[in-house]
Amino acid sequence: MTGEASGIVLSKQDLREVTAFAAACAEAVLEVFEGDQPDDLRPRDAIDAAWEFARGGERGKALRDRAWAALTAAKSADTAAAREAARAAMAAAGAAYLHPLAKATQVKHILGAGAYAARAPKSSPTTIGVLVPDTLSRRCIVRRRSSSTYSNASRRRRVAADGLVS
């Protein structure tokens, strides 16, 4: 980090909650990628690594490498829907690297997996109707319903980005 003060405090538990939300979103559309590329395990590995961190594991090179591998898998997918699903997996693994900076670039760490996952079913005529956005939202949120940490971290990020935190 550049050493700038942001006014945002994120605990490791906050990062775990954000990562769990991202993993739940990516997992909801993993079948889209696996239907396109059934022998490619890179997005699944990235989601598994995200869950491992969310459940108490440590961040490290393996998590980062799996995120990059999922991005590479996205580039090799045959359909737009599969590419979006693989990007959701990449974003899930990358969510663990959210920094407490009041910058718009950090929002992708919180919402990237959900945004890519929401676009996956819409990207291909063969997947339209498989997972409507309302269903996706329920899948992502129901898995994290018991925790308020995600919404608290998201709110702190939003307030800081608006310049309301010194």
Reported as a single tens digit per residue, the pLDDT across 26-41 is 998 999 999 999 999 9
Residues 6+ apart with CB under 8 A from 20: 50, 51, 54, 55, 143, 144, 147, 150
- Residue 16 inside a domain? The answer is yes
- Residue 135 inside a domain? The answer is yes
Single-letter code of the amino acid located at 51: W
Structure tokens at 16: 């775990």
Tell me: the pLDDT tens digits for 66-84? 999 999 999 999 999 999 9
Quick one: pLDDT at residue 8? Answer: 74
- Residue 7 inside a domain? The answer is no
Quick one: pLDDT at residue 151? Answer: 44
Question: In which residue are the tokens 């990020």 written?
Answer: 157
Position with higher pLDDT, 117 vs 38: 38
- Residue 156 inside a domain? The answer is yes
- Residue 2 inside a domain? The answer is no
Quick one: pLDDT at residue 135? Answer: 53
Domain count, the chain: 1
Lowest mean pLDDT among 51-60, 80-89, 109-118, 126-135: 126-135
- Residue 6 inside a domain? The answer is no
Q: Which domain holds residue 24?
A: 12-161
- Residue 1 inside a domain? The answer is no
**Is the C-alpha dihedral spanning 150, 155, 97, 90 positive or negative?**
positive
Question: In which residue are the tokens 């939202």 written?
Answer: 137
- Residue 55 inside a domain? The answer is yes
